[in-house]
Amino acid sequence: MTVEIMTESLTEKQWQIVHAIAIALVKDNTDVNELGKAIAYLRATVNKPNAGANFFKYLKTLVSNGRQIGHSGKTPDYYRSIDKACSQYLQSEQANAQKMLEILGWSARLMRYYKDAGLIEEIPTPVVESTRKAETAGVINTYNFAIGQILEATVTTKKGNKVTYQILGIIKITEKEPKKAQFISEGQTVKIEIVDLKEDGSIKKVKWVE
pLDDT tens-place values along the chain, 210 residues long: 333 444 458 888 889 899 999 999 998 999 999 999 999 999 999 999 889 989 999 999 988 876 666 566 788 899 999 999 998 888 878 888 999 999 999 999 999 988 877 656 666 666 666 656 666 666 666 677 889 999 999 998 888 888 999 888 778 889 988 888 888 888 899 999 999 988 878 888 998 887
Strand pairing report for 150-159 and 171-176? unpaired
User: Do the beta carbons of residue 165 and residue 172 sit within 8 Å?
Assistant: yes
Residues 6+ apart with CB under 8 A from 164: 155, 156, 157, 158, 172, 173, 174
Residue type, 209: V
Buried b (16+ CB within 10 A) or exposed e, 184-198: eeeeeebebebeebe
Q: Closest Cα partner for 139 from 128, 148, 127, 131? A: 131
